[in-house]
Amino acid sequence: MNIFTLERYKMSNVKIILFWGILLIFVLFTPLSLSSQNISMVFVKGGTFWQGSNEAPYSANERAHQTTISSFYISKTEITQTQWQDVMGTNPSKFLGKDRPVEYVSWFDAVKFCNALSLKEGLIPAYKISDSKVEWDKTANGYRLPTEAEWEYAARGGHSGAITDGPLAKAPYSGADTSATSVGWFDANSNKATKPVAQKGPNALELYDMSGNVWEWCWDWYGPYPKDPVVNPDGAENKTGQKVLRGGSWFTPEKLLRTTYRYWNVPTFKVNSVGFRIARNAEDQKIEEKKMDDELSLPGGLNLFEALSPPGKSH
């Protein structure tokens, strides 16, 4: 093999390595997307953080405690009316718009959507639903609601943004520290209506509207936070009859858009300020986390009713 042939051989190998390297980067960092519903899911690497805050006057309801979360996926935006209608065949929303978040949906409606979407995608439904009883099969690979802890962890930026040395003295908004104006829709800027998703700035995980637009259902029964550290909590042991809502909405004051703020209502409750986003277990979690951590290796080596219900609206 002469020197010219050798050089061409070397250049050919370099091109092959570059091709596979670029392809690997694309696969690892492109959000999981469902072709039929076009729902982008963002991988959230697990970790341990201080859930809640010490911020007055909210600290009693946001008792700070250490929480460890396993990795999971969460949808980049709130479920839109187009996505809902594609799965459920109806549109219950009061503020119509294909890219606006679906609203006027109860907690029961949200878990039914998760199961229907799972079946449509050939996945194992996460929920066993019998009348008003809903059981979560945590081994299922289908879609589900995020837990309250997962929701807060993701809203605060996940592995980098939510990790703190101690409890928050002042809780931020999702994607902004001092003002929600750049990241959320609320009473001061919404013109009294929901807005199409992803029109404001995202947070560190490229998640949109986790502060404002519509309240979002979580899986958990509402109850006091524990005092001791917990791992993958899924709600209060004492069933209060209320399900957790997070994030604030288009008509609430800015302070209710804080990432640690907690609200709740009965699972049958529905209003034009309540929607949801979906989550999913991270399959082959250790492999996913290793991919995210390792260097790339190339081939070869207010009271409750007032807070949730817009003034002057009937429900």
Q: Which CATH number do you get for residue 133?
A: 3.90.1580.10
Q: State whether 9 and 118 are in the same domain.
A: no
Residue 210 resides in a domain: yes
Tally of domains within the chain: 2
β-partners of residue 133 are: 130
Residue 251 resides in a domain: yes
Residue 90 resides in a domain: yes
Residue 314 resides in a domain: no
How far is the C-alpha of 281 from the C-alpha of 234, rounded, in Å? 14
Cα of 222 vs its chain's centroid, Å = 18
**Over 50: is that where the pLDDT of 211 sits?**
yes
Residue 94 resides in a domain: yes
How big is the CA angle at 110 (ends 309 and 158), to the nearest 5 degrees? 90
Residue 63 resides in a domain: yes
| Gyration radius (Cα) of the chain, Å | 21
Angle between helical axes of 81-88 and 107-120 (0-180°, round to 10): 70
Nearest to 230 by CA among 72, 67, 69, 71: 67
Q: State whether 120 and 7 are in the same domain.
A: no
pLDDT class of 236 with cuts at 50, 70, 90: confident
DSSP states along 148-169? HHHHHHHHTTHHHHT--SS-BS
Nearest to 252 by CA among 265, 268, 263: 263
In the chain, the N- to C-terminal Cα span, in Å, equals 82
Q: How many distinct helices (H) and strands (E) make up the chain?
A: 7, 14
How far is the C-alpha of 14 from the C-alpha of 20, rounded, in Å? 10
Residue 313 resides in a domain: no
* CB burial string 247-261: b at 16+ within 10 A, e below: bbbbbbebebbbbbb
Q: State whether 16 and 67 are in the same domain.
A: no
Nearest to 223 by CA among 129, 149, 122: 149
pLDDT class of 291 with cuts at 50, 70, 90: very low
**Over 80: is that where the pLDDT of 287 sits?**
no
Q: State whether 160 and 57 are in the same domain.
A: yes
Q: State whether 252 and 103 are in the same domain.
A: yes
Query: pLDDT above 70 covers what percent of the chain?
Result: 77
pLDDT at 290: 47
- The answer to which of 28-32, 146-150, 174-178 has the lowest mean pLDDT is 28-32
pLDDT at 245: 98
Q: In terms of pLDDT, which residue wins out, 31 or 116? A: 116
Say if residues 270 and 246 touch (Cβ distance below 8 Å). no
Please name the helix (run of DSSP H) or strand (run of DSSP E) that holds residue 116, with its range, or none: helix 107-120
How far is the C-alpha of 290 from the C-alpha of 222, rounded, in Å? 34
pLDDT at 42: 97
Q: State whether 19 and 64 are in the same domain.
A: no
Q: State whether 144 and 252 are in the same domain.
A: yes
How far is the C-alpha of 127 from the C-alpha of 143, rounded, in Å? 9
Q: State whether 162 and 221 are in the same domain.
A: yes
Q: State whether 207 and 142 are in the same domain.
A: yes
Domain of 279 in residue numbering reads as 34-308
Say if residues 53 and 169 touch (Cβ distance below 8 Å). yes
Residue 179 resides in a domain: yes
pLDDT at 126: 98
Q: State whether 113 and 256 are in the same domain.
A: yes
pLDDT class of 309 with cuts at 50, 70, 90: low
pLDDT at 237: 75
Report the amino acid identity of residue 61. Answer: N
Nearest to 105 by CA among 270, 218, 285, 288: 270
Q: How many CB atoms lie within 10 A of CB 182?
A: 12
Q: State whether 137 and 232 are in the same domain.
A: yes
**Over 60: is that where the pLDDT of 289 sits?**
no
Q: State whether 85 and 107 are in the same domain.
A: yes
Query: What distances in angstroms separate CA 51 from CA 100, 122, 147, 228, one per listed residue?
Result: 30, 34, 12, 11
Query: pLDDT above 90 covers what percent of the chain?
Result: 74
